[in-house]
């Protein structure tokens, strides 16, 4: 297995927590590597590129895809090594105390510290296990929304009862000709206000029913009708559709293995039990975002960013005990002085 150069910190995961960790590590003068299993950076935000994000501090309402692009641009500020399409499989220590991070590309990445920012694990949407589903993915069966505009004027059936399904139903109101929201239970597990918005907006809500069969056209790819089965009576009935969006949650891949001598305590085999300062139970391994659990945890983007700052500060003092425990604010940081001058000159129209 090929061995790469040593970095001060290696961040595992390229979602919001990981990307902000990369930026803040650069701000603190650390040599950074980020490894992301998927081919694109942005994490789960990229699964909902057209959904609006309202709860990021100081950020006007922004689409998920745009927000991800902004996070990536910010992460690139200090030139970190950003690696995608590589799945971390094993972490161990060598005799000198360095962490050796083995990945699916056959390379071992040595690092003085690690920030785990791998969210809930490698996520893929749960797919329908029905005949014709795989073929229909090439046409009008969706698990994510590439563009809301493409559903304009259509009859769209959305299957699911969680926040994502209900949120999409709300987004489609006024865009799709008809929105049909199907849930296999009597009650939704989504936010009540959004459920009410969907009902009041004219969506057709079908409860206690699940997709039983996909009926395709002559091409055997495009879905023309969805056959539903009532969970109480067993009765089957069909609905004509233009598109189907399935929002049944995600399947988690948590195959990452730690060598016994360097394994932090985890819950459910994945989530790191830690502190509000982003420590895990293993010295030199810190965590940020959804993968970290501690009392008082804020499971919002703002919480992920706070975790990232704390994780970077802890990593900095771990590898350099004489360094300050906190980074300077950007308005006082020497690393921004020349950049600020350039931006001000540009705004003023001075070349």
Which residue segments constitute the domains of the chain, with CATH numbers given?
Answer: 2-123+251-345 (3.50.50.60), 127-248 (3.50.50.60)
- Per-residue pLDDT at 329 exceeds 80: no
User: Is 147 known to sit in a ligand binding site?
Assistant: no
User: Is 66 known to sit in a ligand binding site?
Assistant: no
User: Is 36 known to sit in a ligand binding site?
Assistant: yes
Q: Which of 252, 315, 246, 243 is nearest to 99 (CA)?
A: 315
Q: What is the pLDDT of residue 155?
A: 97
User: Is 250 known to sit in a ligand binding site?
Assistant: no
- Per-residue pLDDT at 330 exceeds 80: no
- The 3-class SS string of 185-196 reads CCCCCCCHHHHH
Helix (H) or strand (E) holding 172: helix 163-172
Rounded to whole angstroms, the Cα distance separating 339 from 333 reads 11
Rounded to whole angstroms, the Cα distance separating 100 from 110 reads 5
- Per-residue pLDDT at 243 exceeds 90: yes
Which pLDDT band, with edges at 50, 70 and 90, does 118 fall under? Answer: very high
Average pLDDT over residues 121-131: 82
Please state, for a pLDDT cut of 70, what percent of the chain lies above it.
97
- Is 320 in contact with 32 (CB distance < 8 Å)? no
Q: What is the pLDDT of residue 36?
A: 95
State pLDDT tens for residues 24-70: 999 999 999 999 998 999 998 887 788 888 888 888 999 999 999 99
- The pTM of this model reads 0.75
Q: What is the pLDDT of residue 316?
A: 97
Q: How many CA atoms lie within 13 A of 306 on its CB side?
A: 14
CA–CA distance from 225 to each of 93, 140, 155, 206, 243 (Å)? 55, 11, 11, 15, 9
User: Is 331 known to sit in a ligand binding site?
Assistant: yes
User: Is 88 known to sit in a ligand binding site?
Assistant: yes
- Is 314 in contact with 277 (CB distance < 8 Å)? yes
Question: At a CB cut-off of 8 Å and minimum separation 6, what does 109 contact?
Answer: 4, 7, 10, 33, 35, 100, 101, 102, 103
């Amino acid at each position: 297995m090929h061995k790469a150069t040593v970095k001060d910190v290696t961040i595992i995961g390229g979602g919001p927590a990981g990307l902000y960790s990369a930026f803040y590590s650069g701000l603190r003068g650390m040599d950074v590597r980020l490894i992301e299993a998927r081919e694109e950076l942005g994490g789960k935000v990229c699964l909902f590129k057209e959904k609006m994000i309202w709860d990021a501090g100081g950020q006007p309402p922004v689409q998920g895809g745009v927000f991800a692009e902004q996070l990536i641009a910010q992460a690139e500020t200090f030139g970190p090594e950003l690696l995608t399409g590589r799945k971390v499989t094993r972490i161990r220590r060598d005799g000198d105390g360095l962490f050796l991070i083995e990945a699916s590309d056959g390379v071992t990445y040595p690092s003085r510290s690690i920030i785990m920012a791998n969210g809930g694990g490698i996520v893929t949407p749960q797919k329908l296990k029905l005949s014709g589903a795989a073929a229909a993915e090439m046409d009008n069966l969706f698990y994510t929304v590439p563009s809301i505009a493409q559903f304009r004027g259509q009859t769209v059936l959305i299957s699911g009862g969680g926040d994502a399904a209900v949120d999409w139903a709300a987004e489609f109101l006024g865009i799709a000709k008809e929105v049909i929201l199907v849930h296999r239970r009597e009650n939704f597990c989504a936010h009540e206000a959004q459920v009410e918005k969907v009902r009041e907006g004219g969506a057709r809500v079908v409860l206690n029913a699940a997709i039983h069969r996909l009926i395709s056209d002559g091409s055997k790819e495009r879905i023309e009708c969805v056959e539903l089965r009532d969970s109480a009576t067993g009765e089957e009935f069909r609905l004509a559709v233009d598109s189907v969006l399935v929002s049944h949650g995600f399947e988690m891949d948590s195959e990452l293995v730690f060598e016994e001598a360097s394994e932090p305590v985890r819950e459910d085999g994945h989530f790191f039990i830690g502190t509000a300062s982003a420590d895990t139970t293993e010295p030199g391994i810190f965590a940020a975002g959804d993968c970290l659990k501690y009392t008082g945890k804020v499971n919002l983007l703002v919480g992920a960013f706070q975790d990232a700052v704390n994780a970077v500060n802890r990593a900095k003092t771990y590898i350099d005990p004489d360094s300050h425990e906190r980074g300077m604010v950007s308005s006082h940081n020497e690393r921004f002085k020349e950049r600020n001058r350039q931006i001000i000159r540009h705004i003023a129209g001075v070349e």
